[in-house]
Structure 1
Amino acid sequence: MCGIVGFIGEGNVPRVILDGLAKLEYRGYDSAGLYLLSQQGQGYLFKEKGRIADLEKAVNHTLDSGIGIGHTRWATHGSATRENAHPHQSNSGRYTLVHNGVIENYLDLKTTYLSQVDLKSETDTEIIVALIAHFSEQGLSTKEAFKKVLDLIEGSYAIGLIDQEDPELLYAAKKKSPLLVGVGEGFNVIVSDAMATIELTSKYIEIHDGELLMIRSDQVTIEDSTGKTVQRSAYIADLDASDLDKGTYPHYMLKEMDEQAAVVRKNILSYQSQAGEFEIEAELLAKIHQADRLYILACGTSYHAGLVGKVIIEELAKIPVEVHLSSEFAYHQPLLSQHPFFIFISQSGETADSRQALVKVNELNLPSLTITNVKGSTLSRESDFTLLLNAGPEIAVASTKAYTAQLTVLAILADVLAENHDFSMAHELSMVSQAIERVFAQKEELNSWVQMGLNEVSHAFYVGRYLDYLVAMEAALKLKEISYIHTEAFASGELKHGTIALIEEGTPVIALITDEVTALNTRSNLEEVKARGAKTFVIASDSLAKEGDFTLPQVHPLLTPIVSVVACQLLAYLATVARGLDVDKPRNLAKSVTVE
């Protein structure tokens, strides 16, 4: 969830780290800090509660330094205070450390080794740096002390460590939490996400779990858990620095919604063969065809995409599919079929709950596929196969283009798995991309709904049936997570089985109607809530729309979720803007959930 940027070498160290942290703001944080060390061994620590802008004001930019580490913290152990902000230091000030993740046994370690040590924060992170100092005082070298601590701690971590007595060396290690090494001319960096320093370098080295790194300005040494040196080449990060800029858009979310049509087209081209048919790795297809059931595991928005993907795959490929929340599956595994195949969906490829589930799947030696936006991410590396979303960087916390990309790739996968059907998926997805553009162009019509009172309410409902109900779940999440309007989704037929008791005068009920079979049923359900005072709104496909509805362009019935969700995203965005809230960085939320 948090962000790490470390730098060693030639350059403006505080500027590089602060700019890098700013690019990681999307990950979510409530405090930030920076440590700088000069070549003469003079250290400077700056920490602030609040935004990076507050930290920026506190930092002395004239200080001479050749190494530094910075961090944005999202509170887990201990509240959001300056004392709990990273970096943390040993009592002597010799060691300074930043950490992402959760140390599960930190209380046991504190009792066993640090009962006489005066700790200054409430965090689990301070335990790590205090332990390194403790073992160093017993005669171990910094490297030996760091390695011993890594062997003792349980949980997840991405760590950057500086020893004040060695200003030419930056230490790093990871387990479960993301961390990369960026390789430059005369400098090297460590980052939670390549986008933090993509303007400096496009060359990055993956760090695997359990490895210990010693990084100098001109050298990167990697050792595995046994102390053996590992040789690993850098890869070129497929990022464009211009993708990280809002351009003329007021918010990243609006920019990313506007990019959705292009993302659909990009996936069409990416997965199309020269013959115009969709094509996926033969070995992957063979493994799926050997399965008697597919299991989709995901969290949040990706879980909602999986629910839609289940319908599309079952309808076209006739393969049974189950969809599970990764956080539930990881610890309470359901009864599996004889020949299961697992599909993990994650925008970042670093989702901790999904990674924990994948560990269990790998222990059972079962085949798996990750659908993700990030090449080389943990889930991608540790599963057998990967399909990329080709969505480009998504900065806004509320996912939009990653969700539509997930649905697009799932539809392409279903198309390739299907033995036969009477339409061209490539053509239908092309129609979807055009439909998205038309919906986006109609946003002022949705803004009128907001002005009719949607921005002033505390509660709202989304309803629908079949695929519309599944989209309603994602629509409700979008509205609640950025506008803070408490919003729930229900299968519209379930309203009268209890939920209708919550309808009061003026309660907004937004219906999605794209399914011809159940359209009249949903209309009837709307009449029921309207009779009890609800203010109703309808988003409907062109062939099913009535006067007053927001009309969606007609697309293939199985692909309507990729279009209808765009209207819902826009509605959430417009309601949030009207309420004067931070669209891109909603409170208490992080973009990449890298702790369980």
Structure 2
Amino acid sequence: MGAIADRDVVPVLVEGLKRLEYRGYDSAGIAVFDGDRMRRVRRTGRVAEMEAAAAGEGLSAGLGIGHTRWATHGGVTEVNAHPHVSFNELAVVHNGIIENHDAQRERLSAAGYTFESQTDTEVIAHLVHYHQQQGADLLQAVQRAVSELEGAYAIAVVSKREPSRLIAARMGCPLLVGLGQGENFVASDVSAIVQATRQVIFLEEGDTAEVTRERVRVFDGEGREIERDVHVSDVSLASLELGPYRHFMQKEIHEQPRAIADTIEAVIDQGGFIPALFGADAAEVLAGVEGVQILACGTSYYAGLTARYWIEAIAGLPCSVEIASEYRYRAAVANPNQLVVTISQSGETLDTMEALKYAKSLGHERTLSICNVPESAIPRASRLVYYTRAGAEIGVASTKAFTTQLVGLFTLTATLAKLRGRLSDEQEAQYLDALRQLPGSVQHALNLEPQVVGWSERFAPKQHALFLGRGVHYPIALEGALKLKEISYIHAEAYPAGELKHGPLALVDAEMPVVVIAPNDSLLEKVKSNIQEVRARGGEMFVFADLDSQFGESEQVHVIRTPRHVGVLSPVIHAIPVQLLAYHAALARGTDVDKPRNLAKSVTVE
């Protein structure tokens, strides 16, 4: 976060950093120029601790930068916290990782610079200062410095020598400029500046920006001044507030009926699954597609795994799903007639962005992004895009982004099936009706919360859990296990239920709760057989079944019945109770639900 204004920017910086807390961090700091002095406050822990320290020192200034750090190089200490300075006259904040920091550190040490931290970021501060010493102004010094850096970065730099401007630069990490009246801002996320302005410029790869009170100038990677479009953000302040909820995760779980309704609105308005839902030239891009390659990370990867079942069964197309960080480093065989689908909540996930670049370098021109953030990097790099209209998602553990991704992927599936002549008018009408009913069905699933709360008390003292599912619901078991370990810190694994006897059954005992996703589909009887295997070993089972599934409860078998089976969209419904289970188990264990340890919301480093 950075600001330059005719007013005191300290409250603006602090408020911006508070709105960035959801991204994950372990320390916070600000540096401001008060007259001809640079003053810096840093603290480990929460922004509130740094805010109190800044207030205690009476900080006030018209130019400053701030940062919430997530440790990569060096431990969680005040000396490693941002901003980092050079000779107490230049300060920098930095997201990302500088890969050649060791070589630069040696070079700068030989030039007389002393390092006080273990971070790669301090290298940037000294390198910019070094170029200033060679006669460059601040803009030139930053441009020369970043040309010598390898890795990913979004940086903001201020200097005592030029207290009337702020310089920003990006490569691989998100960065935007906010435009105000007599004041301007930089930030890694629009939520940080929506308090002050809604007009933003999204910087492109390799851009640097000169920001003063009166104007903003943007330069491309070649140093040429260039015009970048100004966008008006539709992020609302209300979406960034907790309201009546205890945590953002709870709020976002309960926002899913509205988020899904907003995401399917365009499909319903169009009265069918048409290529135009994905972009103006979608008919051309999707015509003749011979297969689908899905690239994603984390929760988005599990959404892709679910979609594979849909795409192959409904559209009749071969579909592969790969973790983006693995795909980008292997020798993939490209088929130019394959549709490459990237999935990312933020649109800035570094591994997914790099995987997309790699796919394009192999000759893939048919690219589609499913994303929740308009104008973010991945959609801009894709020919087609489907925006999930989930709204701002603050909790680190993704909930409404996941279910709206599933809706977007189902819409893609039905559209591909229709283009291939595999979707009759009758079937299309049934799918549209299923989508219309989906928000209501999700609300019915949310009404199960009191029953899930009862289960969570039994999970709280456990150290391990097992999740089972079959077919299209196996990825929901994976998602349930991920949610539980993310926020409750209970170790959890997920398996296809048929794999149980091939190893995991050895883990089952009275201390290993087993969660089973058991909808009333064609695999229900198989799942029941797997449940008997667990029961015979003394395991305690927690079964999420449909209303019309025939499950008997016992001392060992606990059952919560979701609404009646909703057919092909059942994975969306069954995602709800596993989210609720993770949330309430975390509450019972007293963990930090919205900011789980060691994790960041938007993963913009490798």
Structure 1 length normalisation: TM-score? 0.96
**2, 6, 9: which is aligned to 1:10?**
6
SS at match of 1:447: helix
Matched, 1:408 2:407: yes
Runs of 5+ unmatched residues, structure 1 = none
TM superposition shift of 1:545:
4.1
SS at match of 1:507: coil
Cα deviation digits, residues 414-438 of structure 1 (max 9, x gap): 1222231424322101222111101
Matched, 1:593 2:585: no
Contact conserved, 1:495 with 1:525, CA < 8 A, in 2? yes
TM superposition shift of 1:41:
1.9
TM superposition shift of 1:298:
0.1
Cα distance between partner residues in 1 of 2:446 and 2:433: 20
Matched, 1:507 2:505: no
Matched, 1:99 2:99: no
Contact conserved, 1:507 with 1:533, CA < 8 A, in 2? no
**467, 474, 478: which is aligned to 1:473?**
478
What corresponds to 2:325 in structure 1? 327
1:27 aligned partner, one-letter code: R
Cα deviation digits, residues 84-120 of structure 1 (max 9, x gap): 0000000x21210000000000111122333332101
Contact conserved, 2:175 with 2:186, CA < 8 A, in 1? yes
2:588 aligned partner, one-letter code: A
What corresponds to 1:430 in structure 2? 436
What corresponds to 2:583 in structure 1? 573
What corresponds to 2:197 in structure 1? 201
TM superposition shift of 1:544:
1.6
SS at match of 1:457: coil
Matched, 1:298 2:296: yes
TM superposition shift of 1:353:
0.3
Cα deviation digits, residues 364-421 of structure 1 (max 9, x gap): 3422111100111111111112110000000000000000000011111112222314
SS at match of 1:584: coil
TM superposition shift of 1:194:
0.3
What corresponds to 1:520 in structure 2? 525
Cα distance between partner residues in 2 of 1:338 and 1:142: 45
What corresponds to 2:447 in structure 1? 441
2:575 aligned partner, one-letter code: V
SS at match of 1:359: helix
Q: How does 1:198-237 map to 2 (within 5 A)?
A: 198-237=194-233
Cα distance between partner residues in 2 of 1:275 and 1:397: 35
TM superposition shift of 1:510:
0.8
Q: Evaluate the alpha carbon distance shift between residue 64 and residue 32 of structure 1 in structure 2; reply closer, same or farther with a 3 A threshold.
A: closer
What corresponds to 1:464 in structure 2? 469
TM superposition shift of 1:191:
0.7
TM superposition shift of 1:519:
1.1
SS at match of 2:186: strand
1:418 aligned partner, one-letter code: A
1:590 aligned partner, one-letter code: A
Contact conserved, 1:466 with 1:515, CA < 8 A, in 2? no
Contact conserved, 1:113 with 1:131, CA < 8 A, in 2? yes
Cα distance between partner residues in 2 of 1:477 and 1:274: 36
Matched, 1:371 2:370: yes
2:98 aligned partner, one-letter code: I
Instruction: Say which is worse superposed, 504-513 or 156-165, in terms of deviation.
Output: 504-513
Instruction: Say which is worse superposed, 401-410 or 304-313, in terms of deviation.
Output: 304-313
Matched, 1:483 2:478: no
Matched, 1:417 2:416: yes
SS at match of 2:341: strand
Cα distance between partner residues in 2 of 1:160 and 1:199: 20
What corresponds to 1:67 in structure 2? 63
| Equivalent residues, number | 589
What corresponds to 2:594 in structure 1? 584
What corresponds to 1:46 in structure 2? 41
TM superposition shift of 1:588:
0.6
Q: Evaluate the alpha carbon distance shift between residue 338 and residue 8 of structure 1 in structure 2; reply closer, same or farther with a 3 A threshold.
A: closer
Q: Evaluate the alpha carbon distance shift between residue 216 and residue 338 of structure 1 in structure 2; reply closer, same or farther with a 3 A threshold.
A: closer
Contact conserved, 2:548 with 2:565, CA < 8 A, in 1? no
SS at match of 2:287: helix
Contact conserved, 2:397 with 2:486, CA < 8 A, in 1? yes
Contact conserved, 1:157 with 1:176, CA < 8 A, in 2? yes
Q: Evaluate the alpha carbon distance shift between residue 235 and residue 47 of structure 1 in structure 2; reply closer, same or farther with a 3 A threshold.
A: same
Contact conserved, 1:41 with 1:166, CA < 8 A, in 2? no
Contact conserved, 2:448 with 2:562, CA < 8 A, in 1? no
Cα distance between partner residues in 2 of 1:368 and 1:326: 14
1:539 aligned partner, one-letter code: F
Runs of 5+ unmatched residues, structure 2 = 554-558
What corresponds to 1:542 in structure 2? 547
**47, 51, 55: which is aligned to 2:50?**
55
Cα distance between partner residues in 2 of 1:447 and 1:109: 53
TM superposition shift of 1:265:
1.0
TM superposition shift of 1:346:
0.1
Contact conserved, 1:428 with 1:555, CA < 8 A, in 2? no
Cα deviation digits, residues 231-258 of structure 1 (max 9, x gap): 1231001111101011001111111011
What corresponds to 2:262 in structure 1? 266
TM superposition shift of 1:282:
5.4
TM superposition shift of 1:138:
2.4
Q: Evaluate the alpha carbon distance shift between residue 43 and residue 113 of structure 1 in structure 2; reply closer, same or farther with a 3 A threshold.
A: closer
2:77 aligned partner, one-letter code: T
Cα distance between partner residues in 2 of 1:87 and 1:349: 26
Contact conserved, 1:347 with 1:373, CA < 8 A, in 2? yes
SS at match of 1:589: coil
Cα distance between partner residues in 1 of 2:226 and 2:350: 25
What corresponds to 2:379 in structure 1? 380
TM superposition shift of 1:200:
1.1
SS at match of 1:356: helix
Contact conserved, 1:431 with 1:555, CA < 8 A, in 2? no
Q: Evaluate the alpha carbon distance shift between residue 56 and residue 282 of structure 1 in structure 2; reply closer, same or farther with a 3 A threshold.
A: closer
1:467 aligned partner, one-letter code: V
Q: How does 1:239-254 map to 2 (within 5 A)?
A: 239-254=235-250
Q: How does 1:268-283 map to 2 (within 5 A)?
A: 268-275=264-271, 280=277, 281=279, 283=281
Cα distance between partner residues in 1 of 2:550 and 2:453: 19
TM superposition shift of 1:64:
3.5
TM superposition shift of 1:338:
5.0
1:377 aligned partner, one-letter code: S
Cα distance between partner residues in 2 of 1:150 and 1:70: 20
Off by >6 Å, runs of 4+ in structure 1: none
Matched, 1:285 2:283: yes
2:379 aligned partner, one-letter code: S
Q: Evaluate the alpha carbon distance shift between residue 330 and residue 269 of structure 1 in structure 2; reply closer, same or farther with a 3 A threshold.
A: same
Cα deviation digits, residues 177-211 of structure 1 (max 9, x gap): 00000001111000110011112111000101111
TM superposition shift of 1:62:
3.7
1:575 aligned partner, one-letter code: A
**166, 169, 185: which is aligned to 2:165?**
169
2:585 aligned partner, one-letter code: A
**146, 153, 158: which is aligned to 1:157?**
153
Alpha-carbon RMSD across the aligned residues, in angstroms, is 1.5
2:151 aligned partner, one-letter code: G
Contact conserved, 2:446 with 2:576, CA < 8 A, in 1? yes
TM superposition shift of 1:522:
1.2
Cα distance between partner residues in 1 of 2:21 and 2:109: 33
Cα distance between partner residues in 1 of 2:488 and 2:471: 26
Structure 2 length normalisation: TM-score? 0.95
Cα distance between partner residues in 2 of 1:502 and 1:285: 50
Cα distance between partner residues in 1 of 2:271 and 2:118: 61
What corresponds to 2:140 in structure 1? 144
Cα distance between partner residues in 2 of 1:192 and 1:49: 20
